[in-house]
């Protein structure tokens, strides 16, 4: 059985893992971080656009946000991710 909601949640999880890898400032995670930076690229690739589509995200807006993160030092990225996680937790509590 194909469950569209479950599929969308799965792809949203893929995006969240990419965000976590992008924001991880630990030196041992450098390879993961660089891999996500390549996946994001200067322009959104077909793969990036497809993942966003499956996750229910606007690929253009997501790419702008991801590229903005890529411009920040990893330490600042992790601070941004903590803020995002806090906001998500607040929304779930509502």
Give the pLDDT confidence of 5-27 residue by residue, as tens digits: 999 999 999 999 998 899 887 88
| Sign of the CA dihedral with 8 first, then 47, 84, and 64 last | negative
Q: Which parts of the chain register pLDDT below 70? A: 1
Task: Give the pLDDT score at 54.
Answer: 95
How far apart (Å, rounded) are the C-alpha atoms in residues 94 and 90?
Answer: 7
How far apart (Å, rounded) are the C-alpha atoms in residues 93 and 76?
Answer: 26
Task: Give the pLDDT score at 46.
Answer: 93
Task: Give the pLDDT score at 10.
Answer: 94
Task: Give the pLDDT score at 40.
Answer: 93
**pTM (two decimals):** 0.80
Task: Give the pLDDT score at 61.
Answer: 94
The residue behind tokens 């607040």 is: 90
Task: Give the pLDDT score at 81.
Answer: 79
Task: Give the pLDDT score at 35.
Answer: 92
């Amino acid at each position: 059985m194909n469950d569209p909601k479950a599929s969308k949640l799965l792809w949203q999880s893929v995006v969240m893992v990419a965000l976590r890898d992008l924001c991880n400032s630990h030196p041992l995670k450098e390879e993961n971080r660089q891999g996500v930076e390549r996946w994001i690229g200067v322009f959104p690739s077909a793969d990036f656009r497809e993942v966003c589509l499956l996750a229910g995200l606007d690929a253009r807006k997501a790419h702008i946000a991801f590229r903005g993160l890529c411009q920040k030092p990893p330490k600042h990225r992790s601070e941004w991710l903590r803020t995002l996680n806090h906001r998500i937790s607040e929304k779930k509590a509502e």
